[in-house]
Amino acid sequence: MKEKGFSKDFIMVVIGQIISLFGNAALRFALPLYLLNQTGSSALYGTVTACAFLPSIAMSPIGGIVADRVNKRNIMVALDFLTAAVVGGLAVCLRFGNEVLLIALTLMILYGIAGAYQPSVQAAIPVLVRQEKVMSATSIINTVSSLSSLTGPVLGGILYSMYGLVPVLILCTTCFFASAVMEIFIHIPYQKPEKHEHILRILKTDFAQGIHFAWKENRKIGEVVLIVCGINLFLSAMMIVGIPYLVTEVLELETELANQLCGFAEGALAAGGLAGGICAGIFAKRLKFSQAGNQIMAAAASAFPMAIILFLPVSAIVVYGVMMVCCFGIMMFATIFTVQMMSYVQIVTPRNLTGKVIALVLMVSTCSQPLGNAMYGILFELCRGAEAFVVLFSGIVSFALAAVTRKSFQSMETEYRNS
């Protein structure tokens, strides 16, 4: 590659990501919100979003293995066409009833496809750009993901509140179809593997190597996974289930306005993630692994103002404004923590094990998310009229978790310097 900048093929991958991820973000927002509007049940909302995570957990490691053995372009094209067909099919089938079952199945398929899709994109980067451009290219892909997560719910919320669910489904189907057609013209170098092994044997071998390193050779990585599981269980799940429920069902707002504001709240979460990623890059040299626990404590502390304002007799708009600020703060600090932990894993793990260990970390840490979603769905249902106590519970437990695990982070600095 002799180009001074990025190649045409990489630019097309980025454009495809913008279109595809925007559609995905809009759908992940609109479909659960539609269920919440139709039923008003936080328990159902939490259960459906919990079930949706399960295929993603299963498909992520499989997607990573397939990405190393199949043409990455073909994977992206096939999965975008499949997503377009699934979403278009939902738009047609909604007329015949069984909305809860149809939306639950669609969300599960979407999360599963996303889990298989992203490893192909990440694995394509080193093939399409020069070595010195890999970090910049990865940053671009991650920024595109954050921006799509920011704009998808906001624009999807506006469109949904004005015209309903079906126009959102038609727009997203068009996005996925357009992305797939464009990706057909991308050229990603591919070399067919000489040795073919059964996928179950590959999975068993890779997982065994990753588990042995993370829980035997470097137990700090195992501790990181458990800590992230705890944060996903008690804090992240509260945000995923609580924010849409509080905005649409608890605050006294008109349905159309509530749906729009819910989209803006999801945008605030994405904006916080984007800000956290930027801060982690700017202050990378100042961020020490020994102080990573401070980021969790700050994220947990950001939940307290949201709980307090729910106790006070103030207007719904004031409550919503405080919630927006809290959403931004929680995601910003949580993202900085995530960047620190992933960097630690990448630094202390041997290169021949990095992919396996990271796939293991992502899979195991995500496992707590469905449990947390279901738990908070039930808690909000049981605590109708006292939702502030649920938010307060989330902040207290997360803060205590950060305080208890500070010693683990302090010893990570030594492991890092010895790597």
Whether residues 207 and 306 fall in one domain: yes
Is residue 148 within 8 A of residue 24, CB to CB? The reply is yes
d(CA 316, CA 23): 30
Whether residues 71 and 92 fall in one domain: yes
Cα 343 to chain centroid distance, Å, stands at: 18
d(CA 393, CA 180): 44
Name 53's Cβ contacts closer than 8 Å, sequence gap at least 6.
111, 366, 369, 370, 373
- 């519970």: which residue's tokens? 393
Whether residues 164 and 227 fall in one domain: no
192 part of a folded domain: no
d(CA 34, CA 104): 11
Mean pLDDT, range 167-175, rounded to an integer: 92
Whether residues 395 and 298 fall in one domain: yes
Residue 5 predicted with pLDDT over 90: no
Per-residue pLDDT at 3? 47
Whether residues 172 and 227 fall in one domain: no
Cα 285 to chain centroid distance, Å, stands at: 26
Comparing 368-372, 381-385, 386-390, the range with the smallest average pLDDT is 368-372
- 């605030």: which residue's tokens? 268
Domain boundary among 166, 186, 206: 186
Domain boundary among 186, 216, 241: 186
Number of domains in the chain: 2
The type of residue at 50 is A
What's the mean per-residue pLDDT of the chain?
A: 81
Per-residue pLDDT at 1? 39
Comparing 6-10, 181-185, 229-233, the range with the smallest average pLDDT is 6-10
Higher pLDDT, 244 or 115: 244
193 part of a folded domain: no
H or E stretch at 275: helix 255-282
Residues 249-305: pLDDT tens digits? Answer: 889 888 888 888 888 887 888 788 778 877 776 776 777 767 777 888 999 999 999
Cα 353 to chain centroid distance, Å, stands at: 24
Distance separating the N- and C-terminal Cα atoms of the chain: 33
Torsion of CA 148, 150, 153, 157, to 10 degrees: -130
Domain of residue 122, CATH code: 1.20.1250.20
Mean pLDDT, range 371-399, rounded to an integer: 92
Whether residues 62 and 138 fall in one domain: yes
Give the rounded percent of residues in the chain with a pLDDT score beyond 70: 84
Mean pLDDT, range 378-389, rounded to an integer: 92
The type of residue at 313 is P
36 part of a folded domain: yes
Per-residue pLDDT at 196? 60
133 part of a folded domain: yes
246 part of a folded domain: yes
Taking alpha carbons only, the member of 221, 215, 228 closest to residue 412 is 221
Residues 173-209: pLDDT tens digits? Answer: 999 999 999 989 988 877 766 656 666 676 677 667 7
d(CA 71, CA 86): 23
Whether residues 202 and 181 fall in one domain: no
Largest CA distance in the chain: 68
Taking alpha carbons only, the member of 73, 36, 5 closest to residue 255 is 36
Name 392's Cβ contacts closer than 8 Å, sequence gap at least 6.
303, 304, 307
Residue 387 predicted with pLDDT over 90: yes
Residue 2 predicted with pLDDT over 70: no
Per-residue pLDDT at 301? 94
71 part of a folded domain: yes
Whether residues 76 and 218 fall in one domain: no
Domain range for 222 is 198-419
**CA-to-CA dists, residue 145 to 140, 195, 265, angstroms:** 9, 34, 17
Helix or strand or coil: residue 293? helix
Whether residues 105 and 252 fall in one domain: no
302 part of a folded domain: yes
Residues 300-351: pLDDT tens digits? Answer: 999 999 999 999 999 999 999 999 999 999 988 988 887 777 767 766 777 5
Half-sphere exposure of 30 (CA within 13 A, CB side): 33
191 part of a folded domain: no
Per-residue pLDDT at 159? 85
Residue 67 predicted with pLDDT over 50: yes
Domain boundary among 131, 151, 186: 186
Mean pLDDT, range 164-179, rounded to an integer: 91
Cα 176 to chain centroid distance, Å, stands at: 19
Is residue 245 within 8 A of residue 380, CB to CB? The reply is yes
Whether residues 252 and 386 fall in one domain: yes
- 């992933």: which residue's tokens? 342
Whether residues 147 and 89 fall in one domain: yes
Whether residues 361 and 263 fall in one domain: yes
